[in-house]
Amino acid sequence: MLRFYFHHTPNPMKVGLLLEELGLDYETIPVDILKGDQHEPAFRALNPNGKVPVIVDGDVTVFDSNAIILYLAEKHRRFLPVEEKERGAALSWLFFVATGLSPFSGQAVHFLRHAPETLPYAQNRYLKETQRHYQVIEDHLATNAYLAGNEYSIADMAFWGWANMAPVVFGDEGLAAYPRAAKLHAEITARPAAQRANLIKDRFQLKTGFDAETHRVMFPQNH
């Protein structure tokens, strides 16, 4: 059975969504990143970068959430368009999220909420870039039902994982400034697979709260 190393953060959540969309049998193995489980030697043997998620599919180990969802979509021949034009679009938007929306959102949260000192330039830089990326998506959705065009794909799942975090970045307004992006996020959230993915975290007792020890294990290079 496929093993899924999980924490309820944006990158593992998009993998959880795809696993549920595919209807695969899998074993969920929690990795409590707020306690530092990601630094344990057994986990580092799976992902030397010490990040979730990871899957082990038979004798195949895949880390990095975008590599995982691309691997699974190709293996099971679902949620990745076959036609070249739409496939190219799906890959483009998948990596737009991977290299743009994802890291800028993460850095915005870090400097707005977790940095030990207030750095206005860094806060402004990452918040504005996160806003810019959402605006690119908003503009694209004016003429497209989904990121790859007319077909729901792994690009949308990647978007969903990070759009879940919009209230953490933007506060209570969330995606209100981006109504088309908000509509897509709501549509995906309403899917039965997304509802099941959102319940994965309820199976485990994972640490909540961000104390000094969590800061140390999450950002060890800063200590």
Q: What is the mean pLDDT of residues 101-120?
A: 96
pLDDT (tens digit per residue) in 58-68: 999 999 999 99
Per-residue model confidence (pLDDT) at position 221: 83
Quote the pLDDT of residue 105.
Answer: 98
Q: What is the mean predicted confidence (pLDDT) over 213-221?
A: 90
pLDDT (tens digit per residue) in 157-210 = 999 999 999 999 999 999 999 999 999 999 999 999 999 999 999 999 999 988
pLDDT tens string 16-65: 999 999 999 999 999 999 999 999 999 999 999 999 999 999 999 999 99
pLDDT tens digit sequence for 69-97: 999 999 999 999 999 999 999 999 999 99
Which H, E and C letters describe the chain, residue by residue? Answer: CEEEEECCCHHHHHHHHHHHHHCCCEEEEECCCCCCHHHCHHHHHHCCCCCCCEEEECCEEEECHHHHHHHHHHHHCCCCCCCHHHHHHHHHHHHHHHHHHHHHHHHHHHHHHHCCCCCHHHHHHHHHHHHHHHHHHHHHCCCCCECCECCCCHHHHHHHHHHCCHHHHHHHHCCCCCHHHHHHHHHHHCCHHHHHHHCHHHHCCCCCCCCHHHHHHHCHHHC
Per-residue model confidence (pLDDT) at position 222: 84
Q: Tell me what pLDDT residue 202 has.
A: 95
